Amino acid sequence: MKQEGILLLEDGRAFRGYSCGAFGERTGEIVFNTSMTGYQEILTDPSYCGQIVNMTYPLIGNYGVNDEDVESDKPQVQGFVVKEISKRFSNFRAKMSLSSYLKKNNIVAIEGIDTRALTRHIRDKGAMKAIISTLDLNRESLQKKVENAPGIIGGDLVQMVSCKEKYIIPCKDKRAKIAVFDFGVKLNILRQLTSLNCELIVFPAQTKAEEILKEDIDGILLSNGPGDPEGVPYVIEEVAKLIKTKIPIFGICLGHQILCLALSGKTYKLKFGHRGANQPVLDLKTRKIDITSQNHGFCVDIKSLPETIEKTHINPNDNTLEGMAHRELPIFSVQYHPEASPGPHDSSYLFNRFIEKLVERS
């Protein structure tokens, strides 16, 4: 006997389906991701903290879940929505089914809803608060709960995903020592840097700039993370201090937004965000299009940036800012995820560019 489930949006639109994960009830911002694969990376990406993710591809889970393709130590999403979850899985690395993984990690998920209709609704009305439940199916009751739930704008989700204490990832043939400011860093960012022979010191989000500068570092990486960049003013303040040191800085996703805010820029919320593994990005110097992985609901206002900032990449779909570089300081950042592999290697050069800036400085 299937357990019924419901997804109720803030504007009253409801979608009924069946449980395919843990039983329970969760609130969050409803968003959609257009990726055909990579559901395990999506589930464990700290940037999805506070969100209920709707997968637009109709069949999810056919290659199961393994121990390697994770971006953090546990799933980070508030809830998961699919058209159909695969009852069978086949892959030589697979350890369990997606449904078993969701239940094991207490992630509420439903299947059997019209994900196309849900995606179109989000595109038309914008991302909004929602509630996913397999316990309470009463719309009036759920409507009150979702209205009382906290929103994304102005909130601080970084504290929920950042490490609690500083830790070190050593390297034998060390080329450089990098401070990683952890706002919810994906494991593959750390893997990319260590593969380039970098020793990493990972700092919690509440770390003061003075504490980071006590270490003999060659560069600073500002990581990805969830939520509204303006919701972490304490981080913006410390990044502004780090900029003054003229140490090379590389920002990714939320790190890009925080860096721009520290440089007197402004951010705003996109209607439904960019989330998927097929997002085009135009390099304004080479005029080359990279296929990138993205996951963000906020964006930097290009017009708000000072003249010392050069825009380097844009999204050709909506002309939003995808990358910037400082004209005088060794600072650059991108809105997308160069550590992901949709291209599969279209954006990996950015890590090499960062290391080159460290070598130039030394």
pLDDT the model gives residue 357: 86
Do 247 and 259 touch, CB atoms closer than 8 A? no
| Neighbouring C-beta atoms of residue 16, cutoff 10 Å | 15
pLDDT the model gives residue 362: 62
Residues annotated as part of the active site: 253, 337, 339
What DSSP letter does each residue of 222-283 carry, written as one string? E----S-GGG-HHHHHHHHHHHTTT--EEEETHHHHHHHHHTT--EEEEEEEEEEEEEEEEE
| Neighbouring C-beta atoms of residue 233, cutoff 10 Å | 12
pLDDT the model gives residue 345: 67
| Neighbouring C-beta atoms of residue 232, cutoff 10 Å | 26
User: How far apart (Å, rounded) are the C-alpha atoms in residues 326 and 311?
Assistant: 9
Write out the chain's pLDDT in tens, 362 residues: 789 999 999 999 999 999 999 999 999 999 999 999 999 999 999 999 999 999 999 999 999 999 999 999 999 999 999 999 999 999 999 999 999 999 999 999 999 999 999 999 999 999 999 999 999 999 999 999 999 999 999 999 999 999 999 999 999 889 999 999 999 999 999 999 999 999 999 999 999 999 999 999 999 999 999 999 999 999 999 999 999 999 999 999 999 999 999 999 999 999 999 999 989 999 999 999 999 999 999 999 999 999 999 999 999 999 999 999 999 999 999 999 998 766 566 777 899 999 988 877 76
| Neighbouring C-beta atoms of residue 120, cutoff 10 Å | 12
Provide the whole-model pTM: 0.96
Backbone angles phi and psi of 82, in degrees to 5:
-140, 160
319 DSSP 8-state letter? -
Which residues have C-beta within 8 Å of that of residue 92, sequence separation ≥ 6?
none
pLDDT the model gives residue 349: 86
User: How far apart (Å, rounded) are the C-alpha atoms in residues 18 and 120?
Assistant: 21
User: How far apart (Å, rounded) are the C-alpha atoms in residues 152 and 31?
Assistant: 12
Strands (DSSP E) contained in the chain are 4-9, 14-19, 25-33, 51-55, 59-60, 79-81, 84-85, 108-111, 128-133, 167-169, 176-181, 198-203, 219-222, 249-252, 267-283, 289-300, 309-314, 321-326, 331-334
Which residue has 């990581």 as its token pair? 223
pLDDT the model gives residue 1: 74
